[in-house]
Amino acid sequence: MMNKHAAIIAATIAIVPTVATAFGQDDKWVSGWGQGIAEAIVTHGPGNKIYVTCNEGGGAGSTGVSFTLAGRAPTGNRITLTFDNDDPEQIWISNGDITSDCRACMGNYEYVIRKLKSHSSVHVLFENGDGARFTLKGSSAAITDCTPDFAR
């Protein structure tokens, strides 16, 4: 009987670090993996998050980038990203996310991933005026190299 309880406790302890980091940390990129999906997350204050997913299971779907500001996803079809102090860039989104499941989507996704991995910070601005600046320090290590859905 003790062995069964010890096994349950050991299994629980083994998964806790992965689950805990899956929710992100303020100003620190963290990564995790579950159910065939690699994820990288950074937060900055309550309700602000960048969430990068990669479907490593081989099928299409679930590879993209999502943004949340003030607890809400973007509406409309564009967000503005300003990397470091470069000029602001209008980035196309579909249903609130940067997807990778069409040819244009794949190019958009790969462009944003390259920028996320090679800059120091990004300011995210939604059409409704919500905005937040996120660190990109550690993003290159946290964001896995990923085949876009369209290329699978």
Q: What are the structural domain ranges in the chain?
A: 2-151
**Tens of pLDDT, residues 38-93:** 999 999 999 999 999 999 875 667 899 999 999 999 999 999 999 999 999 999 99
CB 105 within 8 A of CB 113: no
Q: Is 116 helix (H, G, I), strand (E, B) or coil?
A: helix
Which DSSP state fits 26?
Answer: B
The two three-digit tokens of residue 22, written as one number: 């899956």
Phi/psi-derived region of residue 72, left when phi > 0, alpha when psi is between -120 and 50, beta in every other case: beta
The predicted pLDDT at position 121 comes to 98
**Quick one: what percent of the chain has pLDDT higher than 90?**
74
User: Which value, to the nearest 10 degrees, does the dihedral of the CA atoms of residues 62, 105, 74, 39 take?
Assistant: 30
Domain topology for 2-151? Immunoglobulin-like (2.60.40)
The predicted pLDDT at position 9 comes to 35
Please, what is the average pLDDT of the chain? 87
CA quadruple 58, 59, 65, 68: dihedral sign: negative
CB 23 within 8 A of CB 41: yes
**Quick one: what percent of the chain has pLDDT higher than 70?**
83
One-letter identity of residue 127: E
The predicted pLDDT at position 60 comes to 67
Model's pTM, two decimal places? 0.83
Q: What is the mean pLDDT of residues 116-136?
A: 98
The predicted pLDDT at position 1 comes to 47
The predicted pLDDT at position 58 comes to 58
The predicted pLDDT at position 68 comes to 98
